[in-house]
Amino acid sequence: MGEPLLKIRGLKMHFPVYRGAFIRREVNRVRAVDGLDFDIEEGETLGLVGESGCGKSTTGRAIIQLYRPTDGEVHFDGKDLCTMENRELHPLRQDLQMIFQDPYGSLNPRMTVGDIIAEPLRVHNLAKGTKRRERVQELMEIVGLDPRFIRRYPHEFSGGQRQRIGIARALACEPRFIVCDEPISALDVSIQAQIMNLMEDLQNEFNLTYLFIAHDLAAVRHISDRIAVMYLGQLAELADGESIYKNPLHPYTEALISAVPIPDPEIERDRERIVLEGDVPSPLNPPSGCVFHTRCPYAFDRCKKEKPAFKKADDGHFVACHLIDEPERRVRKGSQDALETAQETDEVPA
């Protein structure tokens, strides 16, 4: 394969926390995104999953420079977006668009649908007058909306229709890369499949590249070529969808997949559910070593002291976990005697 469309290296997004009414000083930082390395190939969909608050949306916004990253590199088509000034970024923003999570809050209630979809065309001076109106009507037809509704306001549409308006707005500048920030989470289940099918059709028609952010593993599996699992601002695992589901290497991925319901009642009844103990640590004060060790059922001393490297475990399969180096320690907590025996004798307990 050639050079990837996007190369992200060491991406960090820290938000300062200040204290003081008159003399403000920085006392801490929220480490929302704390050092990500991954690539996105042209024409593919990379799914990004994880618990709420783990930094998924912040990652998407930092990639397209809605947030200017604290540190790291974002190479788009060979150009590092992080080193560019806003005036240099402006023409590139046509290629970098976003579909927002909330179809209610992401549309200006004072603007008609036609004005909302036409706004990117106006900002980038791509069309005027009759041509702009014709382009807006064309975009409405592409996403499955009646062009006669061009003068209506967002409150006159359903949730699924509003999300279609957001998709049409993102398509207006003919982008190459779109961040899809949980585009189906606020919709009814019956509408979710329609929106996902629409996005797949648009990707095939216009050769789009997606970063699809979600916490619904079933939806991500359906639409994604590869899946990245995120925990507390860091990547835990990255692989193609089949490998992630059939052979999860990170304990967090294993726990997430065990929570996905299976339609077959017999399989669902017999399979083991992994319930993680404790709460997600605060990004203000993340744990030392592996950030997941406070909830990991396999954690041992090395996990508390040493941060695992995000490295290749198999062809195209990357993971950040010490169990890759010491697979004999993959013994669940709850049998402490067996664990201690395994550590002392270097044998796997029965």
The tens digit of pLDDT for each residue in 29-88 reads: 999 999 999 999 999 999 999 988 899 999 999 999 999 999 999 999 989 999 999 999
Q: Long-range CB contacts (< 8 A, 24+ apart) of 145-148?
A: 145/113
- Taking the C-alpha atoms of residue 9 and residue 230, their distance in angstroms, rounded to an integer, is 15
Q: What pTM does this model have?
A: 0.89
- What pLDDT score was predicted for residue 279? 84
- Taking the C-alpha atoms of residue 302 and residue 281, their distance in angstroms, rounded to an integer, is 19
Confidence of residue 345 (pLDDT cuts 50, 70, 90): very low
Domain range annotation of the chain: 6-80+202-345
Tell me which of 22 and 205 has the higher pLDDT.
205
Contacts of 188 (CB under 8 A, 6+ apart): 159, 160
What SS3 class is residue 151? helix
The verdict on domain 6-80+202-345 having CATH code 3.40.50.300 is yes
Confidence of residue 258 (pLDDT cuts 50, 70, 90): confident
- CA angle centred on 129, ends 124 and 132, rounded to 5°: 55
Confidence of residue 350 (pLDDT cuts 50, 70, 90): very low
Q: Is the pLDDT of residue 341 over 70?
A: no
Mean pLDDT of 238-267: 85
Average pLDDT of every residue of the chain: 89
Q: How many residues does the chain have?
A: 350
Instruction: Quick: pLDDT tens for 290-338.
Output: 999 999 999 999 999 999 999 998 888 999 999 998 888 877 655 444 4
* C-beta separation of 96 from 65 below 8 A: yes
- Taking the C-alpha atoms of residue 134 and residue 150, their distance in angstroms, rounded to an integer, is 11
